[in-house]
Amino acid sequence: MTQRMTPSERMMAVMTGQKPDRVPVVPFVLGYSSKITGISLGDFYADGDKCFEAQFASMRLHGYEQTPMYGYASLGAFEFGGEIEYPYGKGQGAPFVKKHPVKNIEDIEKLEVPDFKRELPGAYKEADKLAARCHAMGMPVSVQIGSTFTATSVVADTSEFLSWLLMEPKAAHSLLNKVCDMFINAIDYFAEKYGAENMLPFDGGPSESNTMISPEMFAEFAYPYMKRIHTHLKELGVHAVLMHPCSDQNKNIEHYVKLRNELGWSGKYVWLFGPETPIKDQVKAFGDHDVICGNINPPLFLTEPYEKLLEICKQTIHEGMNSPSGFILAPGCEFPVNAAPIKLMAMMDAAEMYGRYE
Q: Over 90: is that where the pLDDT of 265 sits? A: no
DSSP 120-136: --TTHHHHHHHHHHHHH
Average pLDDT over residues 188-204: 97
Cβ neighbours, 10 Å, residue 45: 24
**pLDDT for 55-102, tens place per residue?**
999 999 999 999 999 999 999 999 999 999 999 999 999 999 999 999
Question: Which helix (DSSP H) or strand (DSSP E) does residue 192 occupy?
Answer: helix 169-194
* pLDDT, tens digit (0-9, with 9 covering 90-100), for 25-58: 999 999 999 999 999 999 999 999 999 999 999 9
pLDDT at position 3 is: 78
pLDDT of residue 159: 93
**The pLDDT of residue 111:** 97
pLDDT of res. 95: 97
What is the total residue count of the chain? 358
At residue 211 the predicted structure's pLDDT band, cuts being 50, 70 and 90, is very high
Q: Is residue 282 within 8 Å of 315, Cβ to Cβ?
A: no
Encoded amino acid at 283, one letter: V
In this prediction, residue 2 carries a pLDDT of 58
- Global pTM reads 0.96
Query: If pLDDT is split at 50, 70 and 90, which confidence band does 358 have?
Result: confident
pLDDT score at 1:
42
pLDDT-derived band of residue 118, with 50, 70 and 90 as boundaries? confident
d(CA 54, CA 43): 10
pLDDT tens digits, 325-337: 999 999 999 999 9
Neighbours of 57 (CB within 10 A): 16
CB-CB contact of 111 with 175 (8 Å): yes
pLDDT tops 60 at residue 161? yes
